[in-house]
Structure 1
Amino acid sequence: MDFYLIVNQLVVLFLIIFLGYMLNKWNILDKYTSKRLSTFVVNITTPALIISGMTDPQTLQEDINLLQIIIIAFVCYVFLYILTLFVPKLLKVPKSDYGIYKFMVMFSNVGFMGFPVISAIYGRSAILYASLFNLPFNLLVYTLGIYFVSSDGDKKMDFNWRLFINAGVIAVIVGMILYLTKVQLPMFARDTIIMVGDLTTPLAMLIIGISLAGIPIRKVFANYRLYAFSLLKLVVFPLIIWLALRNIVVDDLMVGVAVVIVGMPVAANAVMLSNEFDGNEKVASEGVLLTTVLSIITIPLLVFLLA
C-alpha cells in the first residue's frame, strides 16, 4: 500500500474543489452554470461512469462471488439506513436539514473518489470488488437519495414509482444486463462511454467548489455539528463495519473494500442532486468539503488499521 498515492489522490480532489471555488469568485462559472453542470453530471456522465465500470473487459472475465459482494454491500446500506433514523436526532440537527443529513450518513463518495483510492490501496484488481459493491449505491442514491434531498422535516416529497425512472437506475440495469450476459461493447462505443464517464469526477468537484463560493468558509470549519458528524462518518461507522465483518467474511479484500468505501467522505452526489431537486445545497457542500478535507487524515489511519 502506497500511502503517498492515497494522500495524493485526496489532495488532487481537494484542489479541484478549490479551483471551482476560485472560478466562481472570478466570475467565470456562476451558480446557473453549476446547476446546468449538475444536470449534465447526474443524467449523462455519472450513468456513463456506471456502465463503463460494469463493462470493463477485466470485470467481464473475472470469476468471483458476485452474490456475496452484493449481499455485503446491501447489509452495509441497511446498517447505514438504520443510522439515518438516529444520527440527525443525536446531533440535534434542525428538522429542515434532516433529509440532507440522512443522505450524508448513508452515501459516501464511491465513484468519484472511492475507485481511485481503492486502486491505490489494494491495486487495480480491487476495482472489480468496488464496482460490484457500488451497485446498491447506484440504485439507492437515485431513488432513496433523491427522496432524502427533496424532503425536509416539515414537508416530505411523496415517494412513488417515478423516483425509479431516471438515468442512474437505467444505467445500473443496462450495466447489469451487459455484465451478466458478458457482452462486450464495440470499441468505439466503449471508448465514448469511458471518455464521457471520466468527466464525472472533475466536474463534480468543480460543482462543489462553485457551491462553496457562496458560503463563508470560516462558517464551515467552525460548525461543531459537522465535526461530530465527520467523526461518525469517517471513523465510527467504518470501524463498526470492520468489527461486524472481520469474523464473518473470509475474503480480507472484500472486508477492506467495504470498510474503506463506508469510510469515504460524503458523496459529491449530495450537492448535484440538491441542485437538481431543490435540496439544501449549502449544507451538502459544507458536508462534502469538511469530510473530504478530514479524510486526508482518516483514510490513511483506516488503512493502517486494516493492514
Structure 2
Amino acid sequence: MLFSIVVHQMILFFSILLVGNVAAKQGVIQENYLPDFAKLVTKILLPVMYFYMTYAGTTRQMVLDNVAIIGLAALFYVTICSVTWLLAKGLRPTGDKAKVFQFAFIFGNTGFVGAPLLIALFPKGGFLYLALFSIVDQLLFWTYGIYLATASDKKAKITLKSFENPNIVAIALAFVFIMIGIKLPTVVDDTLQTIKNAVGAMAMIYLGALIFYSDWKTAFKTKDMYFGIVVKMIVLPILLGKLLLMTSLPNDMIWSMIILMSLPTMTVVPMIAKMHGHEGAYAAGIMAATLAISIVTIPLVVFFTT
C-alpha cells in the first residue's frame, strides 16, 4: 500500500515537473523569471504551508509524543555527515568540490519534495514529523552547511541573522500557537489552507523549469554524483530504515524518516554554494540530477525497505 502511494505520488510529481519543463522550453517561464519565482515559493508559499501543516490539527500532546524524531534526525545527520566526509576523502574531488559534495548530499529537499510527499502519505501526522525534523535540519544547515559552502580562500560567516529564515519562523510560530493553544479564526484558517493547496504544484512547476535551465547533464559525467546517489539516496536509507523498523517506534514516524533520508539535494544548496564559494555550477548539477533521478530512487528505497 505504502509503495503504491509513493509510486503514484512520484509519477504525479514527475508529471507536474514536465509541465514546468515544457513551460520553460516554450519560453513561458524564462530563466530570468526563476529568482522571483523562487522568492514567491520560498518566502511566501512554503512558509505558509509549513505554518499551516504544523499547526492544523496538532495538539500539545501530539508534539510531546513525537519529539523522538528530533533524536532520530540528530543521529541521521551524524551518520550522513560522517559518510559523506569519508566518501569525499575516497573520491577526492578537486578543490572545494569535496566540501560542496558533502553539502549537496547531506541536506535533502524537505520543502519542495519531502513536504508534499509526507502530506500525501501521512495526512494526519506526516508534517509534524517534518517540522520536528527541521529543527535539527535547519540548525545544521545554517552552521555546518554554511561552512561547507564557503570557499577555502574565504571565511565562513555564521551569525544569528542566518536563522532569520521564513520557514524557521513559520515552524517556530506554529509551535508557539500549538503550545499556548491559540486558535485561528475560520476565515484565516481557510485562507491559509487555500494557499497551502497551491504550494505543491507551484513548487514542482518551478523545479521543472529549474531542471530545464540547469546544466544537470554535466553532473552525470562525474563519478562523485553516482557514488553520492547510490550511498545517500539508496543504500543508507534502506539500511537505516531496516534498523528503525526493528524498533518499537511508531510506524508512521519510521517511514517519514525513511522518506526524509532518501530525498534529493536541497534546492537552495546551489544558491548558497554560489554565494559563499566558487562551486555553484557543480552544486546546481548535482541538485538537478538528484531531483530528476529521485523519481526512481525514492520508490526503490520504499520497495526494498519493505
Give the TM-score range, shorter chain.
Answer: 0.7 to 0.9
* Alignment correspondent of 2:48: 48
- Alignment partners' CA distance in 2, 1:273 and 1:45: 20
Could you report, residue by residue, the CA deviation over 1:181-220 in whole angstroms, capped at 9, with x for unpaired residues? 2322222222333333444433333333333334455434
Distance 1:100 1:279 in 2: 10
Label 1:273 to 1:145 Cα distance change in 2 as closer, same or farther (>3 A): farther
In structure 2, the partner of 1:32 is 32
1:265 aligns with 2:264: yes
Report how far residue 233 of structure 1 moved.
Answer: 1.6
1:85 aligns with 2:88: no
Query: What's the offset of the Cα at 1:84?
Result: 4.3
Task: String of CA shifts for 1:198-251, please: whole Å, max 9, x gaps.
Answer: 444333333333333344554344443222211012112213423553455543
Mapped to 2, the partners of 1:39 and 1:286 lie a distance apart of: 21
How many aligned residue pairs are there?
Answer: 305
How far apart are 1:152 and its partner, in Å? 2.8
Given that 2:70 and 2:136 are in contact with CA atoms closer than 8 Å, whether structure 1 keeps it comes out as: no
Query: What is the Cα deviation at residue 127 of structure 1?
Result: 1.5
- Shift in Å, 1:174: 0.8
- Equivalent in the alignment of 2:106: 106
Tell me how far 1:72 sits from its aligned partner. Answer: 1.7
* Counterparts in 2 of 1:81 and 1:186: CA distance versus 1, 3 Å: farther
RMSD: 3.2
Comparing 40-49 with 134-143, greater Cα deviation is found at 134-143
Identity %: 20
Q: Give the counterpart letter for 1:82 in structure 2.
A: S
Aligned-pair CA distance for 1:103: 2.9
- 1:250-272: per-residue Cα shift (whole Å, max 9, x none)? 43432222122101222334356
Distance 1:27 1:296 in 2: 25
Q: Does structure 1 conserve the Cα–Cα contact (< 8 Å) formed by 2:150 and 2:156?
A: yes
What TM-score do the two structures reach when normalised by structure 2?
0.82
Q: Does 1:305 align with 2:304?
A: yes
Q: Secondary structure at the match of 1:80?
A: helix
Amino acid corresponding to residue 165 of structure 1 in structure 2: E
Asked if the contact 1:138–1:168 (Cα under 8 Å) also holds between the matched residues in 2, the reply is: no
Residues 95-134 of structure 1: pairs in structure 2 closer than 5 A:
95-118=95-118, 121=121, 123-128=122-127, 130-134=129-133
- Deviation of 1:7 after TM superposition, in Å, equals 1.7
Alignment of 1:245-260 (within 5 A): 245-260=244-259
Structure 2 unmatched runs, 5+? none
Q: 1:161 is matched with which residue? A: 160
TM-score (normalised: structure 1): 0.82
Q: Where in structure 1 are there 5+ consecutive unaligned residues?
A: none
